[in-house]
Amino acid sequence: MPLHIHFVGVKGTGMSALAQVSAHVEEAIITGSDVSERFFTDSVLERANIPVFEFSPQNVECADLVVASAAYNSDHPELSRARELNIPVLSYPQYLGRLMSKKRGIAVSGTHGKTTTTAMIGLTLIQAGIDPTIVVGSDVPSIGGNAYSGTGQFFLAESCEYRRHFLNYSPEYLIITNMEFDHPDYFTDLEDVISAFQEIALKVPENGRIFIWAEDPNVTAISSNAKAPITTFGFSADADVQAIDVKFSDEGSSIKLLYKGEHLGDLDLHVSGKHNILNALACIALCLEIGISADVVLESLGKFNGTKRRFEHLGNKCGAMIVDDYAHHPTEIRTTLEGARLSYPDRRIRAVFQPHTFSRTEKLLQEFSEAFQAADEVVIAEIFASAREKNVGTISAASLAELIKERGIQAKYIGTLDDIKSYLSTTLAPEDLVLTLGAGDIYKVGQGIVG
């Protein structure tokens, strides 16, 4: 009789992806529960024929295994009932680790760029006929959603360092896009972050491989400690996979690709910014290692059209371009804005930022204030708090706006999304590029403007 697995909080992006692939990897019956509010994952789950119920302790009573979203703690009624019935309960990362162990694991980690890099690799593996299983943290049009259930030998997963969740995984291949201080509600400092990446790197076997950004200031912390061989990627001459002759346009970018100094081919990339070139280089390095030809890799990447909430074009209004991006860390904001400036040098860039969590805003306040130099105007929304916040009220969004003004950038605090939408709608000009930034619900501003 097939295993019955029930997902508590199934509408989350990661949870819905796991639910989809579980039906194939585990050959299991899948059910899920969540709030009644509708999300983009509802249609994903409907297409996968996964029934979703409103929360009730009765939902778990026939389950053999319960998988719990990190959004819910152990006193959730369904999880409490599962414990009463002695039904095993696994967290999202624990269960993802279980699934990955059934195939050859490819883990994509790093402070920034995980989702796009995972999506690029996923598309390339599919195009190469490898038929992978994929779990990714966003809706990726080119792979048909946030998951892909293949019959091949590889399991590709976006792998987050938060709370050292990725230590539940034992990948054969590990990508580290970059390492910076983030998640200050968990990590104490950059050294703590690096130690987590050192731990995951040590889990890669000697017959596996680690791929890491050559220009990362902390690359030696990984290379001097790992058992597995290392391939580097980047713009520097000592990178194994290197991009040269970079040209930017409103279409994206074009590069010449070198592999260990030899010309491998040319790539036209249809997503903006240097950061996306690095994401593509990580994809190329991995795919060459597992035996995919350069021609197939470059052709696949040439078809890549981005992911939801990663420099996503929402539309145009009065000639202005409206774009949304998930950037919520100072480096991500700076990189996204610099990419926009490179691709659209003649537009007025109006950055609309919604800080995400009080702890991150407080700990990285100075870095945030310095991240908007490529913008012509900055609008700061109220801070989007997390359910796990402990220091609410210790910092204000208005104070961030004042610090940005001190850096010589036109900035203002407009708290509510409705007020921001009204302000932008009445001041929109044809040469504008309005770029909403943040991991909360700031995307609603752009959606509201476009209509």
Fold classification of 103-302 is UDP-N-acetylmuramoyl-L-alanine:D-glutamate ligase (3.40.1190)
pLDDT in tens, 107-130: 999 999 999 999 999 999 999 999
At residue 391, what are phi and psi to the nearest 5 degrees? Answer: -115, 40
Residue in 73, 45, 271, 282 with CA at minimum distance from that of residue 176: 282
Looking at residue 389, what is its pLDDT? 60
Question: What residues are paired with 156 via a beta bridge?
Answer: 106, 134
- In tens, the pLDDT along 37-77 reads 888 889 889 999 999 999 999 999 999 999 999 888 889 99
**Tokens of residue 447, six digits:** 């959606």
Task: Give me the sign of the Cα torsion angle 287, 123, 311, 184.
Answer: negative
Q: What is the structure's pLDDT at 238?
A: 94
114-127 vs 274-289: helix crossing angle, rounded to 10: 40
Mean pLDDT of 361-384: 95
pLDDT at 34 over 60: yes
pLDDT at 176: 98
pLDDT, average across residues 339-347: 90
The CB density around residue 427, as the number of other CB atoms within 10 Å, is: 11
CATH number for the domain running over 312-450: 3.90.190.20
Residue 70 has phi, psi (to 5 degrees) of -65, -15
394-444 pLDDT, tens digit per residue, is 789 999 999 999 999 999 999 899 999 999 999 999 999 999 999 899 999
What global pTM score does this model have?
0.85
Q: Tell me, what's the pLDDT at 429?
A: 95
> Does the domain spanning 4-91 belong to CATH 3.40.50.720?
yes
Domains 103-302 and 312-450 share a fold: no
* Token reading at 302: 């040439």
DSSP string, 59-95: GGTT-SEEEE-TTS-TTSHHHHHHHHTT--EEEHHHH
Predicted confidence band of residue 78 (pLDDT cuts 50, 70, 90): very high
* Domain range list for the chain: 4-91, 103-302, 312-450
User: Around Cβ 252, how many Cβ atoms within 10 Å?
Assistant: 23
Look at residue 338 and give its three-state secondary structure.
helix
